[in-house]
Amino acid sequence: MPTIAVYDTKPYDREFMMAAAAAGQVDWVFHEFRLSADTAATARGATAVCGFVNDRIDRGCLETLADVGIRHVALRCAGFNNVALDVARELGIAVTRVPAYSPHAVAEHTVALVLTLNRRIHRAWNRVRELNFSLTGLVGFDLHGKTCGIVGTGRIGRVTAEIFRGFGMRVVAHDPFPMIDWAASHGVEYMPLADLLATSDIVSLHLPLTPQTHHLLNAESVRQLKPGAMLVNTSRGKLIDTTAVIDALKQGRLGGLAIDVYEEEEGVFFEDLSGQVLQDDELSRLLTFPNVLITAHQAFLTREALGEIARVTVENAVRQSRGEPFLPGTLLE
Ligand code: NAI
């Protein structure tokens, strides 16, 4: 029976993981702390480790995992920018992920952020609770007829584009690997990134974080945005240079920012810091803007997505323990 050491777990992870395994199918060791070089030795005795987006699975971590006999790292997320894959290969550790647990979960959260920020629902909700029924400052715009730019038309980007098409928006897209047939059948128009930035009222990021996409939205590209545009990021925080975006917000060039991910989210997101002094000055500044909406990496958080993540993790751990191939498309090579 495989023993899976699961890191950075919250009650909802444990609930869905345990429900996915039949009784006696898997031994679980749940840790609340994150997986890193400092904590990897705690995997001793397990057959696999299960990590999440802010675990730091670098060389030091992987070398310790190899030393304690781990041959399988099962990521319970789609992104894998936090894993030194070349080192894992060198050490003979298989790394799997859950590539498509629910593109709808992330796409629908993206749209929720856009609607909330545009129609000031977050501000209205607070006001009404205080019996302040004034509408001043709550003016939004019709999505219908506006242009949405989707950067990255993979699984999540395509679902997001289709939802925005349903609002009657013009949808433009940029991707080095365009999906021509899909675009034709959904009325989506591909264009170079600079054109997309210049024409979109809303720009939504749906691409992976790689050395090439790090700070894709920087001081120069933020200047290319249409004045007053809304920028949305539910992918990875480091796609955006926070300093550049704060400047654009202060100058009023950027109309709004909706983010579910943040450049320095590690150690902040997923934690209750309500009794502490926030040490991150840029996050503190972002929280002061009326036109910035932040959620703490919750786009994946639906019952369907958690269930699918748990199912794939359990299935892969069981397969690895029996020497069988992993589920198709989940092994990172
Ligand atoms: P995917 O792999 O299906 O699609 C990514 C797309 O980005 C591909 O079509 C690729 O060609 C494109 N791309 C790569 N480089 C690009 C560039 N420089 N410019 C434009 N497009 C580029 O990935 P999927 O499943 O759609 O996920 C997208 C991202 O969403 C993931 O990388 C992950 O970081 C993030 N994510 C966030 C979650 C959250 O809870 N906030 C949950 C799940 C994923």
> How do residues 288-330 score in pLDDT, each as one tens digit?
999 999 999 999 999 999 999 999 999 999 999 999 999 999 9
Q: Which domain holds residue 89?
A: 3-101+302-322
Tell me which residue has its CA closest to atom 14 in ligand 1.
207
- Answer whether residue 24 is part of any domain: yes
Tell me which residue has its CA closest to atom 37 in ligand 1.
235
pLDDT value at 67 more than 90: yes
Closest approach atom of ligand 1 to CA 179 = 9
pLDDT value at 22 more than 90: no
The DSSP secondary-structure symbol of 136 reads T
265 noted as active-site residue: yes
297 noted as active-site residue: yes
Candidate list 34, 109, 158, 236, residue with the active-site label: 236
All residues at 6 or more sequence positions from 303 whose CB lies less than 8 Å from its CB, including other chains: 16
Token pair for 333: 């090579």
Residue 123 CA, ligand 1 centroid: distance in Å:
30
- Answer whether residue 332 is part of any domain: no
Q: Which residues does a 6 A CB cutoff place in the pocket of ligand 1?
A: 78-79, 103, 106, 151-157, 174-177, 206-208, 212-213, 234-236, 260-261, 297, 299-300
Residue 135 CA, ligand 1 centroid: distance in Å:
37
- Answer whether residue 329 is part of any domain: no
Question: How many angstroms separate the CA atoms of 299 and 297, rounded?
Answer: 6
Cβ-contact 161, 188 below 8 angstroms? yes
- Answer whether residue 7 is part of any domain: yes
Average pLDDT for the chain: 96
Give the containing element (helix H, strand E) for 313. Answer: helix 303-321
- Answer whether residue 46 is part of any domain: yes
Q: pLDDT tens digits, residue range 193-234?
A: 999 999 999 999 999 999 999 999 999 999 999 999 999 999
Do 92 and 130 sit in the same domain of this protein?
no
Report the amino acid identity of residue 332. Answer: L
Q: pLDDT tens digits, residue range 82-133?
A: 999 999 999 999 999 999 889 999 999 999 999 999 999 999 999 999 999 9
Mean pLDDT of 48-77: 96
Question: How many angstroms separate the CA atoms of 221 and 198, rounded?
Answer: 10
Q: What local confidence, expressed as pLDDT, does residue 266 receive?
A: 86
> Rounded to 5 degrees, what are φ and ψ at 10?
-120, 170
CATH code (residue 189): 3.40.50.720
- Answer whether residue 61 is part of any domain: yes
Q: What are the angstrom distances between the C-alpha of 286 and each of 91, 116, 232, 244?
A: 41, 17, 14, 12
Mean pLDDT of 143-166: 98
Q: pLDDT tens digits, residue range 245-286?
A: 999 999 999 999 999 999 999 889 988 999 999 999 999 999
Q: Tell me which of 206, 308, 312 to substitute to probe ligand 1's pocket, judged by most ligand atoms within 8 Å of the beta carbon.
A: 206
Number of domains in the chain: 2
Question: How many angstroms separate the CA atoms of 90 and 186, rounded?
Answer: 43
